[in-house]
């Protein structure tokens, strides 16, 4: 158990819908990262927040957005969902901006 929690574990929705994935970092960690992993694909970095501020942006679509709240939990919002958005979405946290990242168990999203 990494100490990072993600909810929900599984999510099934239809194309065109909007969903929100939630992540609670380890206690004391200020950095939160979001990743997407499609079937048989490598991890794709989406976005990083540090203490509430966006710090780095990867291959995140405009239909996706994220934020980190004052209590340091983070949410990833996915809108106008397409079939290709079906994937595992991981959240990770670290103490610093560059520290070891601890990954959560992931949210498996299926878009039908």
Partner 1 sequence: KNQVEQSPQSLIILEGKNCTLQCNYTVSPFSNLRWYKQDTGRGPVSLTIMTFSENTKSNGRYTATLDADTKQSSLHITASQLSDSASYICVVSLYSGAGSYQLTFGKGTKLSVIP
Q: Does 43 bind partner 1 (CB under 8 A)?
A: yes
d(CA 29, CA 52): 12
d(CA 41, CA 72): 29
Of 56, 83, 110, 112, which lies in the binding site for partner 1, with binding defined by CB under 8 A?
Answer: 56
Q: Does 60 bind partner 1 (CB under 8 A)?
A: no
Q: SS3 of 84, please?
A: helix
DSSP letter at 96 equals S
Pick between residue 13 and residue 44 the one whose CB is nearest to partner 1. Answer: 44
Q: SS3 of 85, please?
A: helix
Q: Does 8 bind partner 1 (CB under 8 A)?
A: no
Interface ranges with partner 1 (CB under 8 A): 2, 4, 33, 41-45, 48, 55-56, 58, 88, 90, 92, 97-98, 100-106, 108
């Amino acid at each position: 158990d990494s100490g990072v929690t993600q909810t929900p574990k599984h999510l099934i929705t239809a194309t065109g819908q909007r969903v929100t994935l939630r992540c609670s970092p380890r206690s004391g960690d200020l950095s939160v990262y979001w990743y997407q992993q499609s079937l048989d694909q490598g991890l794709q970095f989406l976005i990083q927040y540090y203490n509430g501020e966006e710090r780095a942006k990867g291959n995140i679509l405009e239909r996706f957005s994220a934020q980190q709240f004052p209590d340091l939990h983070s949410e990833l919002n996915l809108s106008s969902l397409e079939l290709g958005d079906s994937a595992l979405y991981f959240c990770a946290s670290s103490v610093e901006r560059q520290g070891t990242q601890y990954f959560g168990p992931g949210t498996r999203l299926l878009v039908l």
